[in-house]
């Protein structure tokens, strides 16, 4: 797992790579910084976000309103991410990560683990987040090969 992004100031656009934009996202999230979070998201009507257990939010205004609500009652979390998959082709990049999110200073075993998919797009020379989809927190369950394991 990587170091928590809260240790570094949020990068600002232009984001030269999808990784830089993603670093900006996590730095803004860890710092509870709505202005930095807004800089990561594309100004595009097709921008969308699905928070864990939430519905579809479409358009930057709706997405940013959701982050404002999340940040309004939050304390800065500790966030660690593990890259699972990354693919960049042309002006699109898709990245799948495992997030471990816990209260700042909280023990690692209290972390919520969430699978997240990010889609970034290169617009006007900078990479921006256009889609964020996060699963419900993962729970320990049956291991592969267990006949009781259900996917859906």
SS3 134: strand
CB distance 55 to 43 below 8 Å: no
- Domain layout of the chain by residue ranges: 5-134
CB distance 111 to 100 below 8 Å: yes
User: What span, in angstroms and rounded, lies between the C-alpha atoms of 88 and 85?
Assistant: 10
For 24, 72, 117, the CA distances from 16, given in Å and listed in that order, are: 11, 30, 20
Cα atoms in the 13 Å half-sphere on the side-chain side of 103 = 6
User: What span, in angstroms and rounded, lies between the C-alpha atoms of 81 and 70?
Assistant: 19
- Contacting residues for 73 by C-beta, under 8 A, at least 6 apart: none
The confidence score (pLDDT) of residue 13 equals: 77
Tokens of 114: 């969430």
Q: What is the pLDDT along the chain (152 residues), one digit of tens a residue?
A: 444 444 456 677 799 999 999 999 999 999 999 999 999 999 999 999 999 999 999 999 999 999 999 999 899 999 999 999 999 999 999 999 999 999 988 898 889 999 999 999 999 999 999 999 999 999 864 455 555 555 55
The confidence score (pLDDT) of residue 142 equals: 46
Tokens of 27: 């730095």
N-to-C CA span, the chain: 28
The confidence score (pLDDT) of residue 10 equals: 64
Instruction: Enter the CATH code of domain 5-134.
Output: 3.10.450.50
The confidence score (pLDDT) of residue 139 equals: 85
């Amino acid at each position: 797992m990587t170091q928590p992004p809260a240790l570094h100031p949020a990068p600002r656009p232009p984001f030269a790579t999808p990784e830089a934009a993603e670093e900006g996202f996590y730095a803004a999230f860890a710092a509870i910084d709505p202005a930095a979070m807004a800089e990561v998201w594309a100004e595009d009507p097709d921008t969308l976000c699905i928070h864990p257990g939430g519905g579809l939010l479409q358009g930057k205004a709706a997405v940013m309103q959701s982050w404002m609500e999340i940040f309004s009652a939050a304390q800065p979390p500790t966030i660690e991410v593990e890259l699972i998959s990354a693919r960049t082709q042309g002006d699109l990049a898709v990245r799948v990560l495992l997030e471990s999110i816990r209260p700042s200073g909280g023990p690692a075993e209290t972390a919520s683990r969430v699978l997240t998919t990010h889609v970034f797009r290169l617009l006007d020379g900078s990479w921006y987040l256009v889609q964020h989809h996060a699963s419900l927190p993962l729970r320990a369950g049956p291991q592969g090969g267990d006949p009781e394991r259900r996917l859906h």
